[in-house]
Amino acid sequence: MKLTKTLMAIGVAGALTWAGPLYAVNKVAQLAGTLAVQRADGSVRILSQNSEVNQGDTLTTERDSYAQVKMSDGGLVTMKPNTRVKLDDYNFSDGQPEKDSMAYSLLKGGLRFVSGLIGKRGNKDAYALRTSTATIGIRGTAGGADDCTDEKNPCVNPDSKQTLPAGVYVNVTEGEIVVTNSAGSENFSSGQFGLIALNKRPISIPEQNAVPPFVAPPQFGGTAGGSQECVVK
């Protein structure tokens, strides 16, 4: 897979423009399959396209399911199948860039991100993605992260057929990220791939040793999974 193909990972988002209207709230912008949420109060729901996503929510995609959340600042988070993400902290107000914050945790699986206004205006450290091996600072960036720490179910590079070592894999298709853990910090820019093993310094790796960005299926963007939320009892 050539590096140019990585741009397809964010192609499902369409053209990136900040001149258009933004959502007033965070919403499920696109969905193919099943997306569940556990709210901060412990309740569980099956979400649909246009469902709201709030601080404290834990989102889970099922097998063969993809979901994309559009944040109120214009950012995008696209989840692979069998992925779990928690929105730990979120604050965005048009006239208060000094109060910007977005922190979320990749608990399982993989995702792709396109940053919005948070991290681009005001505090460049306002946008953070937490993983099991490091914290990723996202600064005006498009890229992805995959948790491959389960050695019983290792990740495989589909091109090289190589079984990949345990760790969190990152890639950058635009801009820059800074990856930090107890062992050190490393910056990655557009076109770079990285590996963060547990308790080891982040390192740059060649594309053939990385998890390549995913491409959502053609039906992504439909309303598969239903058009209305339902409560799981």
Q: How far, in Å, CA of 159 to CA of 117, rounded?
A: 35
221 alpha-carbon distance from chain centroid: 17
CA distances for 100 relative to 103, 179, 207, 221, angstroms: 10, 20, 33, 29
Provide the 8-state DSSP code for 92. -
The predicted pLDDT at position 140 comes to 87
Q: How far, in Å, CA of 191 to CA of 207, rounded?
A: 9
Q: How far, in Å, CA of 126 to CA of 156, rounded?
A: 32
Q: Where are the domains of the chain?
A: 27-232
Q: Taking the model in full, what pTM does it have?
A: 0.84
Q: Bigger pLDDT: 58 or 218? A: 58
For domain 27-232, the question of CATH label 2.60.40.1930 is answered with no
Does residue 103 have a pLDDT over 70?
A: yes
Least Cα distance to 129 among 162, 223, 139, 220 occurs for 139
The predicted pLDDT at position 3 comes to 42
